[in-house]
Structure 1
Amino acid sequence: MSLIDDSGLEALYGIHRTDLRRFLIARMGDAAEADDVLQELWFKARNVGTGPIDNGRAYLYRMAQNLVVDRLREKQRRMERERRWSDQATDFAAAGIEPTDRSQTAEDKILAREEVAALVSAIKNLPDGARRAFELHKIEGLSHEDVAARLGISKSGVEKHMAVAMKYLRRALQD
């Protein structure tokens, strides 16, 4: 490859943006975070002042990999800080200083109860066969084969009842 100057790096970024995004998603496992890193990479590619670059594409990928490593290191540092803070909160409690209350708020508890009530109501309103199959499989933990044996239907029948139940519950809980 021929040498490019730093203004050509921005053009190469435009050419390889889609591949760079795919590379970042594969490394990070999160498209939104990959997009953030991709934007950061664009800013760096626009402002790099290193002079001529022998292989611009490789340079961009190295920059992207370095940004991924930086993000991972920052995440590890944040987790370590939070762990230390949690340990200190325990030390405060031992010293007689009241730690932060990490339990659910009253609003969270009310919302959780409402969600449970909506789910119970939705299960009760399932068609009879779908309700029985759902309860045996999801609540009692039986396999499809065991549910089929208990209800005296085929495994395929259980799968159809489960599909009906899941479709009904999704609709009921979205409303």
Structure 2
Amino acid sequence: MPHSPAKPKKGWLAHYSELIGAWRRGGLGREDGEDAMHDTVLGMLENGVGAIEDPRAYMARGTSNRLISRHRHVRALEMMPLDNLAETEHPVMAGADTGIEFQQLADALSDALEELPLKCRQVYIRHRLEGWSHTEIAQDMGLSRSMVEKHMSRALRHINERLQNHVPF
């Protein structure tokens, strides 16, 4: 029985395969390129494929933007727990009021977190205090990555407003 060739993929799916191959050949980490592409395709599907004039350009630009954002995020947010620092590297505030100021700041942060809607608070705590990525939070909470980012932005704005009088000048 003769084997017929596979039907060529049509529409955005053909571009998906092409672009995944290009990201792989481009020397990027395979997982990073695939994750960025999957996030882009998810956004495209959520917004409606028909609403996008040029799916190939949308997917290429979206994937590129997400990879750049991830790179910037990793570079900007290199975090290390205080426990891993040598005693001489710990941040120190001079003055007798340090303990009181710290407690006031901690209380103000706690109050600001309590004022947030539950999902905003959960996103903030998981990302900023527990070190989860937006993608991990989205998967765990059953939200889109975009919604996690919106909750995070809202939480950051609220906390910044509430802690303004605790910023040393």
Normalising TM by the smaller chain, what interval? Answer: 0.3 to 0.5
User: Between Structure 1 and Structure 2, whose CA radius of gyration is higher?
Assistant: 1
Q: Which structure shows the bigger proportion of residues in helix conformation?
A: 1
TM (normalized to structure 2)? 0.41
Q: TM-score, normalised by structure 1?
A: 0.39
Q: Which has the higher contact order (CA 8 A, sep 6+)?
A: 1
